[in-house]
Amino acid sequence: MEVINIEARTFRLTHGSDVQRDGMYLELLDIDARKAVAEVFYSDETGRMTFWAREEDIPFEAVELLIERSKQLLL
């Protein structure tokens, strides 16, 4: 999906669905570290969006982008 460079780090946003949790998600992946660092999940069951971060040192600009794109893609 979308690749962004922030503070000398490269991130990718990945959109998908999760049958087990009954909803959709947008993940922020750190390409260099090869891992998901944050996620916004939309529950079809409750209609709520939740934010989850796997690490503390995520650039604020990346978190903002994740949240904005989640509003566009998940609602």
**Confidence at residue 1, expressed as pLDDT on a 0 to 100 scale:** 77
Local mean pLDDT, 10-residue blocks, the chain (75 residues): 90 95 96 95 96 94 96 94
Give the containing element (helix H, strand E) for 41.
Answer: strand 35-43
**Confidence at residue 2, expressed as pLDDT on a 0 to 100 scale:** 85
The 35-43 sheet, strands edge to edge: 2-6, 9-18, 23-30, 35-43, 49-53
pTM for the predicted model, two decimal places: 0.89
Backbone angles phi, psi at 40, to 5 degrees: -115, 130
